[in-house]
Amino acid sequence: MQGARPGSFRPLLSVPIVLTLLFSQLAHSDDGIINRIEALQAGHSVTVLDSPLMAKQALTHFYEARNFNLAWGSYNARRQLAQAISEVSDQGLNPTDYHHETIAALALQPEGSSEQELQADLDLVLSDAFLLLASHLQDGKVNPQSIDAEWAANRYERDMHTVLDTALREDDIHQALQTLRPSSPNYQRLVSARRTLTTLLGQPWPALESKPSIRPGDNDPRLPEIRRRLMLLGDIPTADNDAQDEFDAIFTSERYTDELIRAVPAFQARHGLEPDGIIGRQTFTALNRLPVERIRQLDANLERWRWLPEDLGETYVLVNIAGFDMVLVRNGEEVQRQKVIVGGPYRQTPVFSDRIRYLAFNPTWTVPRKLMIEDQLPLIRRDPDYLTRMNFKVYQGWGADRMEIDPATIDWHSLSRDNFPYQLVQEPGPYNAMGQVKFMFPNQYDVYLHDTPGQSLFGRTERTLSSGCIRVEKPMELAEWLLEGNSNWSRQNIDRAIEMREPVNAVLRTPVTVHLQYWTVWVDSLGIIQFRNDIYGRDQKLIDALRMDAHGDLMPTPRRQ
């Protein structure tokens, strides 16, 4: 049925009839598409079917390449897109960002014909939804540098309009979108953990008073509620049918009994707390965290996974800054795990990826200017023997023309941020801040992994103690592994080089990728979900950015029950 000419009589059609006739002319070029693409190219905002078009550049490329023909004639393609959009909440994304209501209402109707303008609008909405979702699954919804300047993500280079064209030709929209997600098992574990946490939404979660603390053997009226939460969160296993009566008696007990003696330390450990079994302020804070808050935090970490390179490499070192640990992976297998010390809140360790190219044994430490003024100068003023005792040399000037200066001849109290013409270099030795080895991956942040003489600090639970670099608990084990296969650098040769106390470099035959990341939630290899404190205060800004809809409005958060 053809549409009537302007001004001519046309009988009114019911909505069902219009929708059943929606896609009759999809093989034809469309003026409605051309007009809207021209508006996007001119820099105008275009809203169709009450939805703003967001993927402006990709939409333009897509429709120009197909001579402005309509694209979504396949009912199966539309159905697959609708299904994929309905599932994106599992990825920590919001279906409403991708025209969910419009597509659910209009796109799943049988093919037919309708007004050309309605065809064009719906076609644009479908394409926009795919292109935007594809981009978010591959690169993330949020630009990380808009959240934190100390974050270098690894953005991909892929033409999404080509991806859409291929997916439509192969009639496999759902699979095309699936392949854009991170393929790492660690990402998939987070997705599964999110599904589990969503089953807790709607559960009552009243705030528990954090005082007084509860110790094993104590009686306390808060313990039944604590048991219930630990069971819901998986720290106390549910009872089988044969033991249900006994379990119910324990569940309602106000005494700190055996099942809590096992469960509380496990809960504390997976929240980065001291697993001492004492239910104190920090443990109550973790217990009081609403399920929706845990989900939001998990969503932030799913987004961080989408910022990572598609391939981490066969062999790599990965540091989780917020988790205070480092893992070494070879051919997909974890071969080493160590504790690390990272930068404090005011000297944050940046997030980026690079490659370890060489190791520096018996390194010197050239103190960065900021640390010279803020850290070293106050120590020198308080202790005139500090520089000599800690084996520092003082130089005036830089490069080959620098001159060594006797520190006793300098009036350190006259120096300031604007007047500090010196350079401090710590020689190799037992007091060197870099320890006996540095793992070098030259970068714009002047950050690297290194040894430290302060081994006792690794006994702390939260280790934000460096000036930005990463201190490694067992550096020689890492060095030996990285140099494996290099006949010049057996463990004996490493030990001999260190005994000489002279700087020497060991170049890796094959550089090893290093990823410095920031995860406050992850699922470990045993399937246990781990939560850590947001030591740099980065989660909330990212959570808010993820919850922004297409209009820039913040989605509401459910209240505590």
Q: Which residues are catalytic?
A: 450, 469
Give CA separation, 412 vs 365, 394, 409, in Å: 20, 12, 9
* Region of 274 on the Ramachandran plot (φ > 0 left; ψ -120 to 50 alpha; else beta): beta
Neighbours of 385 (CB within 10 A): 10
Neighbours of 285 (CB within 10 A): 14
User: Which contiguous run of DSSP H or E holds residue 432?
Assistant: none
Distance CA(446)–CA(371), nearest Å, equals 12
Distance CA(487)–CA(490), nearest Å, equals 6
User: Which contiguous run of DSSP H or E holds residue 380?
Assistant: helix 377-382
Distance CA(215)–CA(526), nearest Å, equals 28
Distance CA(56)–CA(136), nearest Å, equals 14
User: Which contiguous run of DSSP H or E holds residue 272?
Assistant: none
Distance CA(431)–CA(69), nearest Å, equals 71
User: Which contiguous run of DSSP H or E holds residue 398?
Assistant: none
Helices (H), strands (E): how many in the chain?
21, 17
CB 30 within 8 A of CB 124: no
Give CA separation, 392 vs 398, 404, 427, 471, 505, in Å: 16, 11, 6, 20, 21
* Beta-sheet strands, E only, within 300-410: 315-320, 325-330, 333-343, 352-361, 365-366, 392-396, 403-405
Distance CA(353)–CA(323), nearest Å, equals 17
Neighbours of 290 (CB within 10 A): 18
CB 169 within 8 A of CB 69: no
Distance CA(304)–CA(321), nearest Å, equals 13
